[in-house]
Structure 1
Amino acid sequence: MKKIGFLSFGHWTPSPHSQTRSAADALLQSIDLAVAAEDLGADGAYVRVHHFARQLAAPFPLLAAIGARTRRIEIGTAVIDMRYENPLYMAEDAGAADLISGGRLQLGISRGSPEQVIDGWRYFGHLPADGETDADMARRHTEVLLEVLRGKGFAEPNPRPMFPNPPGLLRVEPHSEGLRERIWWGASSNATAVWAAKLGMNLQSSTLKNDEGGLPFHVQQAAQIRAFRAAWAEAGHTRTPRVSVSRSIFPLVDDRDRAYFGRSGSDSDQIGYLDENTRAIFGRGYAAEPDALVKQLAGDEAIAEADTLLLTIPNQLGVDYNVHVIEAILTHVAPALGWR
């Protein structure tokens, strides 16, 4: 059995060919799609966060709105760039969204990918400390967030407060019990996957990772997952960790599917560079008739290793079409692979 959810980047453009022509369209349609996905029996509604872009950016108002409109489906991010975040303010936002949803928040965070502007986190008021890189700063913000989410008091109370304080040091409020165990790290390398395991975070692995050995993407990703689980066991954590992978999967079941994606399936991965020093491997997409798709996906080692699959969706094609894609996967693909 696997949990199956969707992952939306929330692209929007005023182009007449887009069904999401404004930021309002992208936000409101994300809510509608989450409600429809829950009705279909999907397990998760996840959003990607990008700054300075015509995509979803501020996740917590959206997650809270989805949480208020749904009852069962997990709501989450994949991922929030921690270079941009004030971890204490983030803990407040995340706690509120989690309480509104009844404890369904699955918060994916990471160092982040290359952004739309140079060092965009500087505009948000965040600077690496002396001797730090921006990646170091992201990990420092993460460690502060994880500590704050434990709910321990740390702030000295005012002896003459506006309202009475509970005894002792004060914590960030609202606190949502259990959220600390629902933090995920988006790892692009094996080393950061191991680091996440040691800190007790779940693992999110996307459709790209650092190329570490030249093997096919899904083989490298499966090895990353096994390294994460080994480090988790070595760290002595008592709960079972969760692992998600992302994929673009399109069953071709009608003429619309064939028109949109009939030629988009690829049998091979691609190699590129995230920056001048980081060689990355990008995993293939899947688009085929359901029977062929089942055979292709059965050979994906990383999907087999993961307990959660996030389906990247073409949100600009509109809610109705994306509901159709999710339903086709749940109906024609998942049962044949034993995921349902």
Structure 2
Amino acid sequence: MKKIGFLSFGHWADHPAYQTRTASDTLLQSIDLAVAAEEIGIDGAYFRVHHFAAQLASPFPLLSAIGAKTSKIEIGTGVIDMRYENPLYMVEDAGAADLISGGRLQLGISRGSPEQVIDGWRYFGYEPAEGQTDADMGRDKALQFLNKLDGKGFASPNPNPMFPNPPGLLRLEPHAEGLRERIWWGAASNATAVWAAENGMHLQSSTLKMDESGKPFHVQQAEQIRLYKEAWKKAGHQREPRVSVSRSIFALVNEQDRYYFGHENSRTDKRGYIEKDMRAIFGRSYAAEPDKLIEELSKDEAIQEADTILLTIPNTLGTDYNAHVLSSILEHVAPGLGWR
């Protein structure tokens, strides 16, 4: 059994083929798709966060709206770039979104990836400390965020407050009980996956990873997951870790599917540089008739190691078609792989 969610990048553009022409279209259709996904039995609705782009950015208003209109589906991110964040303000936003959803938030965070502008986090008012890299800054902010999520008091109360204070040091409010145990780290390397385990975060591994051995993508990703699980066990955490992998998977069950994805050419892994001196490997896409998909996906070692599959969706094609994409996986592919 595996949990199956969708991952949306939330693109929009004034393009005649797009159902999402504006930011409003994307936000409202994201809510509608989460509602539809819950109705058909999808387990999670996850959203990517990018700044300075015609894509979803500030996640908490969207997550809160989805939380208010659904009742069961997990709601999350994959991922929030911590270089851009105020960790304390984020504790408050995340706490509110989690309470609105009834404790269904599954928050994916990371040090971030290359963005649309040079050092975009500087425009948000953040600078790495002396001797730090921007990646160091992102990880430090993540640790601050985790620390304050625990709900322990840390701030000295005003002796003459506007409203009465409880005794002792004050914590951030609203506090969401249990949210600290539902934070995920998006790791692109083996070392950061181990670091995530040591700090008690679940693991999100996407369709991109640092190329650390030259092996096929799914093999490298499976090795990363096994290292993560070993580190989690060694750290002695008293709860079970979760691991998600992202995949672009399309079951070709009608002519519309074949029109959109029948000529999908990303049938092999690709390698390239996403930053200077950072060689990465990009996982292949899957698009085929259900029986062929089942055969191909059964050989994916990383999927076997994960408990959660996040299906990347073409959000620009609209709510109805994306609900069909997800339903096709549930009906025609998941049972054959033992996911359902």
Q: What letter is aligned with 1:277?
A: D
**Structure 1 residues without counterparts, runs of 5 or longer:** none
> Distance in 1 between the 2:19 and 2:56 partners?
15
Q: What letter is aligned with 1:64?
A: S
Residue 139 (structure 2) aligns with = 139
> Distance in 1 between the 2:230 and 2:321 partners?
40
Residue 43 (structure 1) aligns with = 43
Q: CA RMSD in A?
A: 0.5
Residue 68 (structure 1) aligns with = 68
Residue 162 (structure 2) aligns with = 162
Identical amino acids, percent of aligned pairs: 74
TM-superposed deviation, 1:73: 0.1
* Conserved? CA contact 1:315–1:322, under 8 Å: yes
> Distance in 1 between the 2:98 and 2:46 partners?
14
Residue 173 (structure 1) aligns with = 173
What are the superposed Cα offsets for residues 22-46 of structure 1, whole Å, 9 maximum, x if unpaired? 0000000000000000000000000
The answer to whether 1:34 aligns with 2:34 is yes
* Conserved? CA contact 1:265–1:287, under 8 Å: no
| Stretches of 4+ aligned residues off by more than 4 angstroms | none
What are the superposed Cα offsets for residues 193-248 of structure 1, whole Å, 9 maximum, x if unpaired? 00000000000000010001000000000000000000000000010000000000
Residue 118 (structure 1) aligns with = 118
1:92-103 equivalences in 2 (<5 Å): 92-103=92-103
TM-superposed deviation, 1:16: 1.4
Q: What letter is aligned with 1:46?
A: Y
> Distance in 1 between the 2:156 and 2:129 partners?
25
- How many residues in Structure 1 have an aligned counterpart in Structure 2? 340
TM-superposed deviation, 1:78: 0.1
Residue 189 (structure 2) aligns with = 189
The answer to whether 1:230 aligns with 2:230 is yes
Residue 323 (structure 1) aligns with = 323
> Distance in 2 between the 1:247 and 1:265 partners?
15
| TM-score, normalization by structure 1 | 1.00
Structure 2 counterpart SS, 1:334: helix
> Distance in 1 between the 2:126 and 2:310 partners?
30
TM-superposed deviation, 1:266: 3.4
> Distance in 2 between the 1:117 and 1:226 partners?
35
TM-superposed deviation, 1:265: 4.8
Deviates more, 1:261-270 or 1:101-110: 261-270
Structure 2 counterpart SS, 1:309: strand
Deviates more, 1:211-220 or 1:266-275: 266-275
> Distance in 1 between the 2:242 and 2:265 partners?
28
TM-superposed deviation, 1:15: 1.0
> Distance in 2 between the 1:287 and 1:134 partners?
37
| TM-score, normalization by structure 2 | 1.00
Residue 107 (structure 1) aligns with = 107
Structure 2 counterpart SS, 1:325: helix
Q: What letter is aligned with 1:263?
A: H
TM-superposed deviation, 1:156: 0.6
Residue 211 (structure 1) aligns with = 211
TM-superposed deviation, 1:112: 0.7
Q: What letter is aligned with 1:325?
A: V
> Distance in 2 between the 1:263 and 1:278 partners?
30
Structure 2 counterpart SS, 1:151: coil
Q: What letter is aligned with 1:56?
A: L
> Distance in 1 between the 2:101 and 2:276 partners?
41
1:167-316 equivalences in 2 (<5 Å): 167-316=167-316
TM-superposed deviation, 1:67: 0.2
TM-superposed deviation, 1:267: 3.1
Residue 87 (structure 1) aligns with = 87
